[in-house]
A = this chain, B = another copy of it.
Amino acid sequence: MILLNDVLILTVAYMKEKSFIVYHSISIQFYFSMISKELFKPILNWPKDSKLPLCVACDVGGSGTYVRLSSFFDESQYIDLPKLKTQKASDLISALNTVSKELKSVAPTIECRGSSLSVAGPITEDTVVFTNWPGQYSNRTLSLSELPTDLFPKNRSKFLNDTESIAYGILAVNRLGTLDKYFEKLFSETSPDGPPVNDRRTAVVSVGTGLGCSLIVKTPLFNRKIVVPTELGHLELPIVGHRNANYQFERELVQHISNHWYEGELAIEFEDITSGKGLCNVYQFLVKKATGKVIPTETLDGAQIAQMAAEKEPLAYKALVIFNQMVIRAAKTISTTMNCDSVILASDNQADNYHIIKDNYSLMKNEFYSFIRPNWLNTITVFTQTKRMNFNLFGTSHIAHQLSKK
Inter-chain contacts of A297 with B (CB < 8 A): none
Q: Does A294 contact B (CB under 8 A)?
A: no
Chain A: residues with Cβ within 8 Å of the partner, total of: 48
Q: Does A261 contact B (CB under 8 A)?
A: yes
Q: Does A231 contact B (CB under 8 A)?
A: yes
CA distance A219 to B258 in the complex (A): 34
Q: Does A175 contact B (CB under 8 A)?
A: no
Binds B, one of A79-87, A89-97, A366-374: A366-374
Inter-chain contacts of A259 with B (CB < 8 A): 243
Q: Does A106 contact B (CB under 8 A)?
A: no
Is B226 a contact partner of A241 (Cβ separation < 8 A)? no
Inter-chain contacts of A229 with B (CB < 8 A): 339
Q: Tell me how far the C-beta of A400 lies from the nearest C-beta in chain B, rounded to whole angstroms.
A: 12
Is B235 a contact partner of A333 (Cβ separation < 8 A)? yes
Q: Does A359 contact B (CB under 8 A)?
A: no
Instruction: Using CB atoms, name the residue of chain B closest to A238.
Output: B236
Per-residue contact bits, chain A 257-283, to B (CB 8 Å; 1 contact, 0 not): 011011111111100000000000000
Is B373 a contact partner of A234 (Cβ separation < 8 A)? yes
Knowing A262-B372, A337-B235, A402-B221 touch, does A241 contact B267 (C-beta < 8 A)? yes
Q: Tell me how far the C-beta of A225 lies from the nearest C-beta in chain B, rounded to whole angstroms.
A: 11
Q: Tell me how far the C-beta of A406 lies from the nearest C-beta in chain B, rounded to whole angstroms.
A: 10
Knowing A232-B337, A337-B232, A338-B231 touch, does A241 contact B265 (C-beta < 8 A)? yes
Is B227 a contact partner of A241 (Cβ separation < 8 A)? no
CA distance A149 to B240 in the complex (A): 50
Is A372 a contact partner of B244 (Cβ separation < 8 A)? no
Q: Does A181 contact B (CB under 8 A)?
A: no
Is A264 a contact partner of B236 (Cβ separation < 8 A)? no
Knowing A231-B338, A333-B235 touch, does A266 contact B240 (C-beta < 8 A)? yes
| Residues from 199 to 227 in A contacting B, C-beta threshold 8 Å | 215, 217, 219-222, 226-227
CA distance A228 to B269 in the complex (A): 24
CA distance A239 to B333 in the complex (A): 16
Q: Tell me how far the C-beta of A134 lies from the nearest C-beta in chain B, rounded to whole angstroms.
A: 20
Q: Tell me how far the C-beta of A375 lies from the nearest C-beta in chain B, rounded to whole angstroms.
A: 10
CA distance A232 to B370 in the complex (A): 18
Inter-chain contacts of A235 with B (CB < 8 A): 235, 333, 337
Knowing A238-B267, A264-B242, A266-B240 touch, does A231 contact B337 (C-beta < 8 A)? yes
- A residues with a Cβ closer than 8 A to B are 158, 215, 217, 219-222, 226-232, 234-244, 255, 258-259, 261-269, 333, 336-339, 370-373, 399, 402
12 A-B pairs whose Cβ atoms sit less than 8 Å apart in the complex: A217-B226, A219-B227, A230-B339, A235-B337, A236-B238, A240-B267, A241-B265, A242-B255, A261-B372, A262-B372, A266-B372, A268-B372
The 5 A-B pairs at the shortest CB distance, nearest first, are namely A243-B264, A236-B238, A238-B267, A241-B265, A241-B266
